[in-house]
């Protein structure tokens, strides 16, 4: 079904800072610009850097507080380590950042200060940012373009302003990073051709999803993929700001939460897939600000209104979940107020039949012109060759598939040694909205220190595994489960 966008609530401003309404500054007039193909950190040089890099700092875990969140999910969390031999790209256990306060600016400042070094290195190593976006922003035309995007988002700066102060980086560097696709696709191709090498324009395509639904099953499984620059530069952010819902979000450091996946204690959860319409609305609203606002959603209707709001520059793909009602949607959004909202509904005729759906980085429901990215096309083709998954284990097998050596579904050291042309899988997550399904897995109800020890123990594992960590987050919704897992492939050749 299609649904018109409606007004969503603004990010709350701290006292004495900007108080302009989030929705009132969205320019309805926007220029049309054809998207170009750019890159963001997946060059051959960076892949080689990844192969040789060995992290010297120990993995750390900052545990969340033991107090219950008023959430409607149980979280099984394990973002584990890539293994193999001494030449492996080493991934650390995700650090956890917590905040409970009244100020969006202070939230951003503390987040920036905590991860200052990682944010700075992520910005410094981002070749697209340093070679294309910031140089163009210093030109007269680039400055005018940046001002247009600043005007649209001028009520949503406090968290980025705080992050800039905490990380000791210019605000505009972080702002451009947070509209990276929108800004880059607004730059004239002539500037891109002269300032940015052609081979680096192609983006490192992000993410794959498997959705399983029946009368008794509602599951979303997701691979979070990105470029090598983002490896070990992410964190789990847990925050409550003022009277807004508490949220948990997998966050790229330097970006707003979350360009990956997250949920809040109203039972709204989501995963994201990059998609790119061929034409964008220059000066429109950035997708990263939409997903940040989504963490504040009151319920499913509010979440859909936020996702489909008018005036977006480009678009995104969402797997939206409402845990209390066990409902799941696939939503595709594109520029010029186009969107498709599809709810997965099991009919009585289907009985216990499980319906499976796979989404990559192509529009599959919304009929819009888009670049024919090889990574997505190969993943979609590979999925069509596999038996449709009907269980969580089978969904994880899809997300772990490396049959296509050039464009596999799962990206790790092994896949790159075999010719992988894409990025890296940073994490895999499974949301299981049903009750009592955790018993099918090995559940570890442990303290964070025990979890860290178990994760560390698996550094030398040479076989497939997935780990789970159950934390009770629910208050009044019974045994509803949200499951987060890390599915690792064997580190040996097939």
Question: What gap in Å lies between CA 148 and CA 143, rounded to an integer?
Answer: 9
Structure confidence at residue 216 (pLDDT): 87
**Is residue 407's pLDDT more than 80?**
yes
Structure confidence at residue 121 (pLDDT): 97
Strand boundaries in 1-119, DSSP class E:
31-34, 74-76, 95-101
**Is residue 1's pLDDT more than 50?**
no
**Is residue 297's pLDDT more than 60?**
yes
Specify the pairing of strand 234-241 against strand 95-101: parallel
Structure confidence at residue 276 (pLDDT): 86
Structure tokens at 62: 């900052």
Structure confidence at residue 434 (pLDDT): 78
**Is residue 177's pLDDT more than 60?**
yes
Question: What gap in Å lies between CA 363 and CA 382, rounded to an integer?
Answer: 17
Binning pLDDT at 50, 70 and 90, where does residue 188 land? confident
Top pLDDT among 78 and 251 is at 251
For residue 466, which of 494, 492, 438, 447 has the smallest C-alpha distance?
438
Q: Answer whether 413's CB lies under 8 Å from 89's CB.
A: yes
**Is residue 131's pLDDT more than 70?**
yes
Q: Could you give all domains of the chain from N- to C-terminal order, each with its CATH number?
A: 32-69+99-200 (no CATH), 208-488 (3.60.60.10)
Mean pLDDT, rounded, of the chain? 73
Structure confidence at residue 16 (pLDDT): 36
Specify the pairing of strand 327-334 against strand 338-343: antiparallel
**Burial letters 156-180, b for 16+ CB under 10 A, else e:** bbbbbbbbbbbbebeebbbbbbbbb
Please name every residue paired with 327 in a beta bridge, in sequence order, or none if there are none: 322
Binning pLDDT at 50, 70 and 90, where does residue 87 land? very low
Q: What is the 3-state secondary structure (H, E, C) of 200-263?
A: HCCCCCCCEEEEEEECCEEEEEEEEEECHHHCCCEEEEEEEECCCCCEEEEEEECECCCCCEEE
Mean pLDDT of 345-358: 79
Report residue 229 CA to chain centroid gap: 15
Structure tokens at 429: 């997550």
User: Please, how many CA atoms are within 13 Å of residue 451, restricted to the half-sphere of its CB?
Assistant: 27
Structure confidence at residue 296 (pLDDT): 96
**Is residue 99's pLDDT more than 70?**
yes
Structure confidence at residue 52 (pLDDT): 39
Binning pLDDT at 50, 70 and 90, where does residue 190 land? confident
DSSP structural state of residue 415:
H
Structure confidence at residue 365 (pLDDT): 87
Percent of the chain with pLDDT strictly greater than 70: 65
The distance in angstroms from the start CA to the end CA of the chain is 43
SS3 label, residue 32: strand
Mean pLDDT of 425-453: 50
Mean pLDDT of 157-168: 96
Q: Which of 55-64, 179-188, 192-201 has the lowest mean pLDDT?
A: 55-64
Structure confidence at residue 370 (pLDDT): 86
pLDDT digits (tens, 9 = 90+) for 194-231: 666 554 555 566 799 999 999 889 999 999 999 989 99
**Is residue 93's pLDDT more than 50?**
yes
Mean pLDDT of 180-194: 83
Q: Which of 260-269, 332-341, 345-354 has the lowest mean pLDDT?
A: 345-354
Structure confidence at residue 268 (pLDDT): 93
Q: Answer whether 154's CB lies under 8 Å from 291's CB.
A: no
- Which residues touch 79 (CB under 8 Å, ≥6 apart)? 93, 94, 236, 250, 426, 427, 484, 486
């Amino acid at each position: 079904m299609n649904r018109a966008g409606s007004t969503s609530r603004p990010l709350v401003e701290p006292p004495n800072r900007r108080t302009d309404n989030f929705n009132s500054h969205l320019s309805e007039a926007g220029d049309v610009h054809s998207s170009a193909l750019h890159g963001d950190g997946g060059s051959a040089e960076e892949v080689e850097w990844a192969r040789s890099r060995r992290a010297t700092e120990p993995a750390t875990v900052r545990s969340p507080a033991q107090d219950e969140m008023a959430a409607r999910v149980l979280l099984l969390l394990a973002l584990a380590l890539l293994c193999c031999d001494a030449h492996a790209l080493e991934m650390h256990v995700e650090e956890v950042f917590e905040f409970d306060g009244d100020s969006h600016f202070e939230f951003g400042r503390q987040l920036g200060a905590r991860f200052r070094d990682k944010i700075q290195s992520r910005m410094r190593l981002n070749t697209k940012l340093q070679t294309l976006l910031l140089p163009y922003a210093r030109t007269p035309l680039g400055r005018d373009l940046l001002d247009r995007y600043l005007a649209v988002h001028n009520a949503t700066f406090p968290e980025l302003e705080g992050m800039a102060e905490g990380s000791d980086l210019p605000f505009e560097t972080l702002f451009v990073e947070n509209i990276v696709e929108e800004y880059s696709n607004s730059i004239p191709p002539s500037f891109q051709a002269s300032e940015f090498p052609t081979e680096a324009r192609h983006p490192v395509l992000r993410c794959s999803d498997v959705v399983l639904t029946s009368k008794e099953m509602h599951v979303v499984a997701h691979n979070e993929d990105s470029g090598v620059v983002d490896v070990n530069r992410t964190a789990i952010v847990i925050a409550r700001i003022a009277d807004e819902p508490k949220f948990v979000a997998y966050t790229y450091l330097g970006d707003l939460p979350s360009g990956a996946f997250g949920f809040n204690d109203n039972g709204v959860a989501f995963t994201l897939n990059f998609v790119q319409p061929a034409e964008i609305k220059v000066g429109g609203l950035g997708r990263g600000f939409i997903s940040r606002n989504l963490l504040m959603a009151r319920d499913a209707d509010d979440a859909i209104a936020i996702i489909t709001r008018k005036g977006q520059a480009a678009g995104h793909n969402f797997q939206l979940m409402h845990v209390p009602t066990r409902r799941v949607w696939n939503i595709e959004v594109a520029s010029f107020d186009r969107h498709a909202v599809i709810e997965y509904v099991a009919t009585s005729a289907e009985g216990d039949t499980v319906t499976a759906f796979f989404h990559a980085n192509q529009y599959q429901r919304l009929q819009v012109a888009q670049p024919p990215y090889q990574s997505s096309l190969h993943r979609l083709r590979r999925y069509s060759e596999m038996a449709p998954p009907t269980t969580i284990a089978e969904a994880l097998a899809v997300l772990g598939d490396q049959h296509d050596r050039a464009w596999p579904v799962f990206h790790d050291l092994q896949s790159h040694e075999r010719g992988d042309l894409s990025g890296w899988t940073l994490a895999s997550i499974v949301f299981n909205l049903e009750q009592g399904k955790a018993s099918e897995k090995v559940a570890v109800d442990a303290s964070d220190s025990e979890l860290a020890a178990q994760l560390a123990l698996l550094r030398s594992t040479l076989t497939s595994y997935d780990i789970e960590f159950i934390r009770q987050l629910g208050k009044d919704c019974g045994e509803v489960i949200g499951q987060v897992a890390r599915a690792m492939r064997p580190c040996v050749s097939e």
